[in-house]
Amino acid sequence: MAELRRIKDWPEGDRPREKLLQRGSEALSDAELLALILRTGDAASGTSAVDQARSLLNQFDNLPQLARATTSELCTISGIGPAKSAELHAVFELARRLSDCALMPGGSFTHAETVFQRYRNRFLRYNKEVFIALLLDAKNRLLKDVRISEGSLTASIVHPREVFTAVVRESAAAVLFVHNHPSGDPTPSREDISITQRLKEAGDLLGVRVLDHIIIGHDSYTSLAEQGLMGAS
């Protein structure tokens, strides 16, 4: 039975590698692309690399969830050990770094959608809430981004003092905030709204424009500025 499930025994047009070479990577499913990374299946259970890839996607529901899986979680799948787990982690990290290539100082941020598209992949690696400040010049061009905290987003974790120390150090004229909800739901909590309004007040006192606070979910985002939740202007 195991011999019949080897990918090299499949018709040539169905094999992921040959399919990619003939038709391009866009023609492959998520499972087929993952199978090319895994390369081999599990001889003990007679499963192919594609079978393993499908098991991974079924176990973790989707690619973003799979990208956040730990080594121990990945190794619960038959035939996935530390070596294959390391290969998967490496591929997802390369994807994140490729996405981050566009995040160079000098780029302008004019819409919340721009921030979401450029930062969404960076947050895929995090299983906890991470709060980042984007420090901008007078023309809303990125000077640098700074991780302020990691953990639950509450007033006890994110302090205006920590945020604006970085803002003043870089002589930023404006700032916007980004953090993630690992649950995937970007709906702001009471704490999200409260700390945003406190940060806005602190920015007003220092003469620094607080442009927005963007919460990133798995496939969507919430802009507190667009929702009118930033507090008094």
* Distances from the Cα of 80 to the Cα of 8, 20, 36, angstroms: 20, 23, 14
Q: Which domain holds residue 77?
A: 3-100
Share of the chain above pLDDT 70, in %: 87
Q: Does residue 74 sit in the same domain as residue 140?
A: no
105 part of a folded domain: no
- What is the mean pLDDT of the segment spanning 26-32? 89
In this predicted model, what pLDDT tens digit does every residue of 184-232 receive, in sequence order?
899 999 989 999 999 999 999 999 999 999 999 988 999 999 999 997 6
- Give every CB contact of residue 167 below 8 A, 6+ residues apart in sequence: 133, 135, 175, 203, 206, 208
In this predicted model, what pLDDT tens digit does every residue of 105-158 receive, in sequence order?
666 777 899 889 888 888 877 888 899 999 999 999 999 889 998 876 444 467
CA distance 93 to 85: 12
Q: Looking at the 3D structure of the chain, how many domains does it have?
A: 2
* Distances from the Cα of 217 to the Cα of 175, 178, 187, angstroms: 21, 11, 9
Residue after which a domain boundary falls, among 50, 73, 100: 100
DSSP 184-228: S--PPPHHHHHHHHHHHHHHHHHT-EEEEEEEE-SS-EEETTTTT
229 part of a folded domain: no
Q: Does residue 121 sit in the same domain as residue 58?
A: no
Q: Residue 181 maps to which CATH number? A: 3.40.140.10
CA distance 50 to 76: 17
* Distances from the Cα of 113 to the Cα of 120, 178, 216, angstroms: 10, 12, 10
35 part of a folded domain: yes
Mean pLDDT is lowest, of 17-26, 79-88, 95-104, 117-126, for: 95-104
Strand-pair category, 174-180 with 209-216: parallel
| Helix locations, 41-174, DSSP H | 49-60, 63-67, 71-74, 82-100, 112-119, 160-169
Nearest to 39 by CA among 84, 5, 77: 84
106 part of a folded domain: no
Q: Say what the pLDDT of residue 179 is.
A: 93
Provide the b/e sequence for 14-49 (b: ≥16 CB within 10 Å): ebbeebbeeeeeeebeebbebbbebeebbeeeebbb
* pLDDT above 80: residue 7: no
Q: Say what the pLDDT of residue 85 is.
A: 93
